[in-house]
Amino acid sequence: MGLETSFERRALPLEYPFEIARGRTTETEVAFVRIEDDDGTTGIGAAAPSSHYGETAATVEAVLPDLLAVVEAVDDPHRLERIEQRMRETVRRNPAARAAVSIALHDLVGKRLETPLYRYWGLDPADSLESAYTIGLDDLETMREKTETALDRGHGTLKIKLGTDRDAEIVRTIRSVAPDVRLFVDANEAWTPREAVAKIDRLAEFDLAFVEQPVAADDPEGLRFVYERSALPIAADESCVTLADIPRIADRCDIANLKLMKCGGLREAKRMIHAARAQGLEVMLGCMTESNASIAAACHLAPLLDYADLDGSLLLADDPYGGPIRENGEIAIDDLNRPGTGAERR
């Protein structure tokens, strides 16, 4: 068959500086992956690594040649399980790098079969969701302005970053601007267990859907402490990285938050979704600040989810790729007139 592979590393500026409890950033570094067959059909994927999980653009750049060598050696994009198993054997870590290759392969397969990815998986696009839009930490007036902009763009679900000494004031401000939207908050591991319980008691008056990752990921008993006492449902993000984590969090939260860049690929994400369901958990699919070159693939999993937090491309000042997520957060895979993931060069 003869598959040709390549990748390109680029820095993409964000629309606004983005701050969470762990720090602030103004751009995201992405590695775009291309896999082309003999007919000139090309699959597109992208890696958006997070240093929080020990991965950087430099490590992605370092391991992609080995991962793409696996693809070229197998030489058949339809052998997805074999390729992803060999990639795991070749590079045990660097999940974002593996995810980029997984996405590009799935895009190529869909294009070769002339079908969108959700149809390839047998999913119903009518069961899709809208994505949350994230309001990062900032001064109150700026957070208010960002919320007003999100409402003007038509967003009906917002995610608010917390982890400060003014968390209740932040949520009160956002609720005053957006009284009718579905709202949830994310502490990004910033609270102690007892602090989390007390804060959640105060935040419950603001009609929140749930609280994401209230305590440190390396404190599973602290997560259980909060879950057993919380006035609101609890979602696990940093505590839920790979398939092996699902049974570990099952009695410590209500919602498992998965990310392609954490778990290493689309097939692994699907396994995690089914494992979470088997444990009685609801499921959210989240993202990093990413291009549509990777977000587009995640959108096709929306029919399997309870919540979607796939706004990574919407946070960019300029994305070189378009995809099935609209400016208002609607995941429009049912309107796709393109095969594969639907990522398309602008």
Percent of the chain at pLDDT > 90 equals 95
Residue 131 is predicted with a pLDDT of: 98
CA distance 256 to 63: 28
Lowest mean pLDDT, pick from 1-5, 65-69, 286-290, 341-345: 1-5
Closest CA to 264 of 10, 86, 119, 4: 86
Q: Is the confidence at residue 172, as pLDDT, over 90?
A: yes
Q: Which residues contact 212 (CB under 8 A, 6 or more apart)?
A: 159, 184, 185, 186, 187, 188, 234, 235, 236, 237, 255, 257
Quote the pTM value: 0.96
Read off the tokens for 138.
Answer: 């900032």
What is the strand order of the sheet 133-135 is part of? 133-135, 157-161, 182-186, 211-212, 234-236, 255-259, 282-286, 307-308
pLDDT band (50, 70, 90) for residue 23 = confident
Would the pLDDT of 1 be above 70?
no
Residue 214 has φ and ψ, to the nearest 5°, of: -70, -30
Q: Tell me the mean pLDDT in the region 42-65.
A: 96
- The predicted-structure confidence for 68-127, as pLDDT tens digits, reads as follows 999 999 999 999 999 999 999 999 889 999 999 999 999 999 999 999 999 999 999 999
* Domains of the chain, first to last: 4-117 (3.30.390.10), 119-345 (3.20.20.120)
pLDDT band at 277 (very low <50, low <70, confident <90, very high): very high
| pLDDT value at 137 more than 90 | yes
SS3 114: coil
Q: In the numeric block, which tokens belong to residue 89?
A: 């054997």
Residue type, 156: G
Q: Which uninterrupted H or E stretch holds 10?
A: strand 4-20
User: What integer pLDDT is reported at residue 247 of this predicted model?
Assistant: 98
Q: Which of 281, 277, 273 is nearest to 302 (CA)?
A: 273
